[in-house]
Structure 1
Amino acid sequence: MSRTPGQQQEQQQEQEQEPAMSILVTGARGAVARGLVSLLAARGIPHRLASREPDTPDAVHCDLTDPSTFPGALAGVRSVFLYAEAAAVGAFVKEAVTAGVEHVVLLSSSSVLGPGAADSPLSASHLAVEEALLASPLRTTLLRPGSFASNALGWAWSLKSGRTVQLPYPGAHCDPVHEADLAEAAFAVLTDPALGGRAYHLTGPHSLTFATQLAVLGGVLGAPVPFESVTAEQWKSAVEGYIPGPYADALLDYWAASDGLPVEITDAVERLTGHPARSFETWAEDHADAFRA
């Protein structure tokens, strides 16, 4: 039965009154999430920031380990930018489907591509979330960054206190990627349907050793950054209480495997953002104050 002009106008008014379907951005305290929210806000795209802390300003409560927080956070949501927390991922997927979510963009890790990923503390959680999403009816896009350039902030305390940085594998390579590039990549796949539903291995533009990264930092800061080689056992002892033993062991194994061996560099950042990946030097310039006393 055809609708009368009056009925058509009434339906149009109802549709106009319905709230716009938004994007839920989890991980309010993360640099990637904050960068993504800034991009969405700048373009007037409806979004909702989510935090595991219930009193976070301008954020809805969504603790990825607590399913009771999922319904409120997901109400009216079309797409989700999701951090890889596996504790309650089954319940999250179920609630997302019930809420009518269509697309999930997962911030995963390129560590899932390595051998033994399911058993490694570096990758097990990411892999479990990937598998849960891929087994669901949700359209899933996987962002698999390599090494975050922000890992270098782990050296900030030593630099600010005038202490020598201790490195168990100074010649270990990684592919430091700027968090701004990750935020832009997430924005691209969330806003361009043609880019979704795939997996992307995201890296910085260069494979750099830890020693080279410290040299770059020194150049930006205007003073050499000294380091000393230590044994794996010495480093593990120094980080005890800060990095859990199994995770420390996994990091040491990863660094040992890439000692003197450049890692794979991809052009995924440029394909998604339209510009080359930012260099580690750019990241260091953007974060120089974090290393100054």
Structure 2
Amino acid sequence: MTFLVTGATGTVGRHVVAELLRLGRDVRALSRTPDSAELPGGVEVVGGDLADVASLEAAFDGVTAVHLINFAGDSYGALDNGPDLVDLMVRKGVRRVTLLGGRDEGALEKALKASDLEWTMLTPVEFMGNTLQWWAASVRAEGVVREPFGGRLSAMVHEADIGAVAATVLAEGGYAGRELVLTGPEAITTAEKVRILAGAVGRDIAFVELTEREAREKWAADGMPGELIEFLVDALGNTPEVGYTVVPTVPEVLGRPARTFAQWAAENAAAFRSED
């Protein structure tokens, strides 16, 4: 049985690959740039683009289970060829699918739900790994985090737990037709997150709480497009209940506790330390 992982070099995909290998499965990884994909030994790397179904014929040969993402390209645009992708999987004999979803249901989600495939939707709340993107540069350079909404709660989930859930569902089944919300084991505020990170890094990290106006100005100066700024203001300032409500999905699927932010911070502390 061959397991195909799309988005295999991404934040979550690399963990899906690693867990499938740990479970002793044959793993094939899809990449738009297979020659430059850095993946563990034993992984078969193939070329293809989810936005171009014709490029995927060979990649899906002999595949039993697939981990999918619902976007393609450098712009992370939503896939609009869901029915064609599902037709390809059915024709190739795929039986089981996990899909890492986003905020909105797109064409791929709808096509999967209308199919006879064993599909499972994975809906993580905020990734712990986003901390690297948003905070690492300012912590290294200045020892400071500048963010609005310091009291905002988030039940952040470790990206390795997302990958492990996807791999376990693909390998073992049991969750067909279900939508699994994935969280960490606790909901913490932004201010608490800074404190935990400082402890892991081993240095003081100042937290400067921005007003909404200051945040908009900062993000605009950083080159963010207006659409993304509005998304962040809404997501951070009006986090929906699902974003701060801890659910037991990760321990139920994996048979162990979900990883904490303190664990994530310890694993990634070096990325926040200055080179001085």
TM bracket, shorter-chain basis: 0.7 to 0.9
Structure 1 equivalent of residue 110 of structure 2 = 131
Structure 2 equivalent of residue 292 of structure 1 = 273
- Give me the whole-angstrom Cα distance separating, in 1, the residues matched to 2:213 and 2:226: 11
Range that drifts further, 53-62 or 64-73: 53-62
Structure 1 equivalent of residue 196 of structure 2 = 216
Structure 1 equivalent of residue 246 of structure 2 = 265
Q: Which deviations, in whole Å up to 9, do the C-alpha atoms of 1:241-264 show, x marking residues without a partner? A: 654321221221121124999821
SS at match of 2:203: coil
What amino acid is aligned across from residue 213 of structure 2 in structure 1? Answer: E
8 Å CA contact retained: 1:172, 1:261: no
Q: Which deviations, in whole Å up to 9, do the C-alpha atoms of 1:28-56 show, x marking residues without a partner? A: 22132112212222333112011122423
8 Å CA contact retained: 1:51, 1:60: yes
SS at match of 1:55: helix
Q: CA deviation at 1:207?
A: 0.8
Q: CA deviation at 1:268?
A: 0.3
Structure 2 counterpart of 1:61, from 30, 47, 63: 47
> 1:127 and 1:265, CA in 2 relative to 1: closer, same or farther beyond 3 A?
farther
> 1:233 and 1:94, CA in 2 relative to 1: closer, same or farther beyond 3 A?
farther
8 Å CA contact retained: 1:25, 1:50: yes
Q: Which has the larger radius of gyration?
A: 1
Structure 1 equivalent of residue 59 of structure 2 = 73
What amino acid is aligned across from residue 74 of structure 1 in structure 2? Answer: F
1:35-184 mapped onto 2 (5 Å cutoff): 35-57=15-37, 58-85=44-71, 86-109=79-102, 123-124=103-104, 126-153=105-132, 154-162=134-142, 164-184=144-164
8 Å CA contact retained: 1:23, 1:79: yes
Task: Specify which structure has the higher proportion of strand.
Answer: 2
- Give me the whole-angstrom Cα distance separating, in 1, the residues matched to 2:182 and 2:64: 24
8 Å CA contact retained: 2:186, 2:246: yes
Task: Specify which structure has the higher proportion of helix.
Answer: 1
Aligned length: 259
- Give me the whole-angstrom Cα distance separating, in 2, the residues matched to 1:84 and 1:24: 15
SS at match of 1:188: helix
Identity among equivalent pairs (%) = 34
> 1:268 and 1:137, CA in 2 relative to 1: closer, same or farther beyond 3 A?
same
TM-score (norm 1): 0.82
Structure 2 equivalent of residue 5 of structure 1 = none
What amino acid is aligned across from residue 84 of structure 1 in structure 2? Answer: N
Q: CA deviation at 1:163?
A: 5.2
> 1:237 and 1:55, CA in 2 relative to 1: closer, same or farther beyond 3 A?
farther
8 Å CA contact retained: 1:26, 1:62: no
Q: Which deviations, in whole Å up to 9, do the C-alpha atoms of 1:195-254 show, x marking residues without a partner? A: 333221110011111111011001111222112122323323323365432122122112
TM-score (norm 2): 0.86
- Give me the whole-angstrom Cα distance separating, in 1, the residues matched to 2:141 and 2:18: 33
- Give me the whole-angstrom Cα distance separating, in 2, the residues matched to 1:211 and 1:269: 25
SS at match of 1:238: helix
Q: CA deviation at 1:73?
A: 1.3
- Give me the whole-angstrom Cα distance separating, in 1, the residues matched to 2:96 and 2:240: 38
